[in-house]
Structure 1
């Protein structure tokens, strides 16, 4: 069976930090608050509730409760319609096409809520993913391995390779005991050598070869 190649989304396939930053500032504007891109990007990776909670707490605002729920809902409503500042990383489309031609089964496992996830995949016409799991698809998020393993189940099981950019993704792959390919141009804060990974890459042109190498090594 050909491997399932499952991708993180933000910081891996797409550079979405500019839209997340702009959406957060719009959501917090009625409260008289704004943030730098670095502040927002520093909290990306563990899902929208964590992002908005951490941003709120950084300004002395409540990170739970009814007011927070309204703030989170406002952010999600804004962000689901915000794609103009988001871009695919160079080489993503070609790499996905190359992997699909080899018979790889492709999926996405992200902590982004499923609504904005499907919206941005539709915006970029990324219809090649047979499984898409968002941060609210299950009761738990990455780095719990359950969402990644659920994506694999949706793809029919078998061998898997996970591709991501962050500490959360490395922890998820380790918990699921699957090979991890680290995209070095995303949102991680930890040095590459400090993260457990099978291989690292900065150019998506290298990805199909890395996948083929792992698949050949794993073959009986």
Structure 2
């Protein structure tokens, strides 16, 4: 059967509230003003180093200056314990249950650091579905480089794989990996659906098992 490789933030979970809380905690601890949700959400998707650089740049600091390392360390540490803002999108558990019953092997490939990703996945109760979880610091590269997706597929041991995500980074990753892309439209994308490369789109997770079951491979 098919392997399914999922993005995490904006795909399986709405993590923006948690990221917003953690980002403001590391900023205000250093005397910088808090940011609104929309601003922080616009920084999400390219990994924690990108987020930290955006926070510093927004605060008027050098994004690669001496403040980067301590702010990054603080953010990642908080990520692992301040997980209350992570919530499942509707229908995710039911869809994953159905996919597992179909014999699909499933993995997570996220630009969030691995330990915070594991903490968020455990918090929402999804760890039983994913024998393979790769984070932004698991390999030398991050998405949209295809290495993480290829590694996840190899570890699942399946010849065929679909990639499920929500963002422009995910669409680019799927293209780079040579995998069909299933776009969850209710996540963090900024581009209109019709302008993003994808092979199928869904707004409701109850549709995902049928999409996978009926997938026509070339």
Q: TM-score range by the shorter chain?
A: over 0.9
Cα deviation for residue 83 of structure 1 reads 1.6
Q: Does 1:161 align with 2:155?
A: no
Partner residue, 2:141: 140
Kindly provide the CA deviation profile for residues 130-183 of structure 1, in whole angstroms up to 9, marking residues without a partner as x.
211100001110000000000001101310000000000000001111110000
Partner residue, 1:209: 210
Normalized against structure 2, the TM-score is what?
0.96
Report the 3-state secondary structure (helix = DSSP H, G, I; strand = E; otherwise coil) of the residue aligned with 2:162.
strand
Q: How far, CA to CA, are the matches of 2:85 and 2:50 in structure 1?
A: 22
Cα deviation for residue 122 of structure 1 reads 1.4
Which sits farther off after the overlay, 17-26 or 57-66?
57-66
Partner residue, 1:13: 12
Partner residue, 1:50: 50
Write out aligned runs for 1:113-128 (5 A): 113-126=113-126, 127-128=128-129
Partner residue, 1:98: 98
Q: Does 1:39 align with 2:11?
A: no
Kindly provide the CA deviation profile for residues 55-88 of structure 1, in whole angstroms up to 9, marking residues without a partner as x.
2112211212432100111111112111212110
Q: Does 1:112 align with 2:112?
A: yes
Q: How far, CA to CA, are the matches of 1:195 and 1:212 in structure 2?
A: 23
Normalized against structure 1, the TM-score is what?
0.96
Cα deviation for residue 30 of structure 1 reads 2.4
Equivalent pairs, count = 216
Partner residue, 2:89: 89
Q: How far, CA to CA, are the matches of 1:85 and 1:123 in structure 2?
A: 10
Q: CA RMSD in A?
A: 1.0
Gaps of 5+ in 2: none
Partner residue, 1:72: 72
Partner residue, 2:63: 63
Cα deviation for residue 115 of structure 1 reads 0.6
Q: How far, CA to CA, are the matches of 1:38 and 1:80 in structure 2?
A: 23
